[in-house]
């Protein structure tokens, strides 16, 4: 039997384990080890679950430069791609969407679904987002207290909005939320992830069949009619794209609503600024700052180098995996003065919470409108909103693909 190599202390120092734990105390700050690397070794090698040692990028300017560099590939089929875990690898291998493709294939497929996310199309939805948010708040106010804000509000908002946009029956939300959760949970087994992924694709495939027969005004009908019927993509490919759109907005926006509420309740002065304004510019700026401060996509953007890339005195070799830690980049003091302070009045628009480069989040205009409507409505309509449990009882999603709280018991 081959000798099992052990990691010597010095190697260990050189290749710290990733991901790193957050500190006890402030639940919003990135793991301290990430920020230490940002100061001392901004282009570092780390050891991940499968024993490989990809690069870890923690500085803002490095992150933007690398995510904007076509020599870094998002294609998970390239050897050296740093998967999140075994379940992530299993999921990525059966899930072929533009998310894990490079240009020109990526651009061709992405452009098929960009229309509804153009600014003016999203602005046209603002009123209907407001109606959804107001309706859910009415129900909160009529219902029992305390209530779990995640289940009663934070999750239904993006779910109702994306269902309306895609033309998916909201009645099925239990089914797709359950399966989406399996995919983003770090503890899922590969079998569970594959099963959940297949269940979602089968569901969307059936729905696309219905839309081909009886088209409506929604995005899935457009995909079925203009793309599948025209032979530009198979129905299975359209179904995979549908799963991506249906699930992407769920966990992200829902966690921004819930975690944002926790952050604001812990910063009453900032909450007051948001609650007492009717200036959309103030609200929009606050949304950007909360996106920066919370950076809920906390498991690293993942890439693999196709060629040698020289950056800041280091050479990332072809075939090396690269993990880009947005939560650290968004706390880079070179770009954001006093970065650990939540300051809703600062100009945080250049944050990388949605990523950067050609893969930057497609749904970001919709996410912005949803968060603007929520943050400008929830706290002013329920002015005495407060936690119904002690702060230290909140259970944070340290193990998730996206950061947040599992439950948020609130009262007023």
Q: How far is the CB of 193 from another protein (least distance, A)?
A: 27
Binding-residue pattern over the window 238 to 277 for another protein, x denoting contact by CB under 8 A? ----------------------------------------
Q: Does 364 bind another protein (CB under 8 A)?
A: yes
Mark the segment that binds another protein (CB under 8 A) among 108-116, 183-191, 210-218, 257-265: 108-116
Q: How many residues does the chain have?
A: 412
Q: How far is the CB of 72 from another protein (least distance, A)?
A: 14
H-helix segments, 267-397: 268-275, 280-294, 326-329, 364-381
Buried b (16+ CB within 10 A) or exposed e, 35-57: bebbeeebbbbbbbeeebbbbbb
Footprint (CB under 8 A) of another protein, residues 190-229:
none
Footprint (CB under 8 A) of another protein, residues 46-75:
67-68
Binding-residue pattern over the window 316 to 355 for another protein, x denoting contact by CB under 8 A? ---------------------------------xx---xx
Q: Which is it for strands 55-57 and 43-45: parallel, antiparallel or unpaired?
A: antiparallel
274 φψ region: left (φ > 0), alpha (ψ -120 to 50), beta (else): alpha
Among 152, 199, 265, 358, binds another protein (CB under 8 A): 358
Among 7, 23, 26, 115, binds another protein (CB under 8 A): 115
Contact 275, 304 (CB under 8 A): no
The four Cα atoms 86, 360, 150, 84 give a dihedral, to 10 degrees, of 10
Helix (H) or strand (E) holding 251: helix 235-266
Footprint (CB under 8 A) of another protein, residues 79-98:
none
Burial of residue 366, with CB atoms counted within 10 A of its CB: 0-12 exposed, 13-18 middle, 19 or more buried: buried
Q: Does 107 bind another protein (CB under 8 A)?
A: yes
CA distance 145 to 139: 11
Q: Does 118 bind another protein (CB under 8 A)?
A: yes
Footprint (CB under 8 A) of another protein, residues 121-160:
121-122
Residues that bind another protein (CB under 8 A): 67-68, 107, 110-111, 114-115, 117-122, 349-350, 354-362, 364-365
């Amino acid at each position: 039997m081959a000798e099992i190599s052990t990691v010597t202390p010095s190697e260990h120092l050189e290749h710290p384990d990733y991901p790193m734990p957050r500190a006890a105390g402030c639940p919003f700050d990135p793991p301290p080890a990430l920020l230490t690397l940002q100061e001392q070794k901004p282009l570092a090698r780390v050891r991940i679950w499968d024993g490989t040692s990809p690069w870890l990028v923690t500085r803002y300017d490095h992150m933007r430069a690398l995510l904007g560099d076509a020599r870094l590939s998002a294609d998970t089929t390239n050897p050296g791609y740093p998967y999140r875990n075994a379940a992530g690898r299993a999921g990525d291998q059966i899930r072929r969407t533009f998310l894990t493709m490079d240009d020109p294939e990526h651009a061709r497929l992405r452009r098929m679904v960009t229309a509804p996310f153009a600014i003016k199309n999203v602005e046209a939805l603002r009123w209907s987002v407001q109606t959804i948010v107001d309706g859910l708040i009415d129900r909160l106010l009529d219902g029992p207290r305390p209530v779990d804000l995640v289940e009663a509000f934070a999750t239904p908002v993006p779910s109702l909005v994306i269902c309306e946009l895609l033309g998916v029956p909201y009645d099925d939300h239990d089914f797709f939320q359950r399966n989406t959760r399996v995919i983003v949970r770090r503890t899922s087994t590969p079998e569970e992830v594959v099963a959940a992924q297949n269940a979602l694709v089968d569901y969307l495939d059936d729905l696309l069949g219905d839309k081909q027969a009886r088209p409506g005004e929604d995005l899935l009908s457009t995909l079925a009619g203009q793309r599948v019927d025209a032979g530009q993509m198979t129905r299975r490919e359209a179904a995979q794209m549908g799963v991506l759109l249906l699930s992407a907005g769920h966990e992200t926006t829902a966690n921004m609503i819930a975690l944002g509420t926790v952050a604001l309740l812990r910063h009453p002065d900032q909450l007051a600024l948001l609650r007492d304004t009717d200036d959309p510019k103030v609200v929009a700026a606050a949304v950007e700052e909360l996106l920066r401060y919370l950076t809920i996509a906390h498991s690293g953007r993942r890439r693999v180098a196709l060629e040698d890339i020289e950056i800041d005195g280091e050479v990332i070799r072809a075939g090396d995996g690269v993990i880009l830690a947005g939560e650290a980049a968004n706390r880079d003091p070179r770009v954001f003065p006093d970065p650990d302070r939540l300051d809703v009045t600062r100009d945080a628009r250049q944050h990388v919470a949605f990523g950067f480069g050609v893969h930057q989040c497609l749904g970001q205009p919709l996410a912005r409108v949803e968060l603007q409507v929520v943050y400008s409505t929830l706290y002013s309509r329920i002015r005495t909103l407060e936690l119904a449990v002690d702060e230290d009882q909140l259970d944070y999603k340290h193990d998730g693909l996206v950061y947040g709280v599992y439950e948020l018991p609130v009262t007023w």
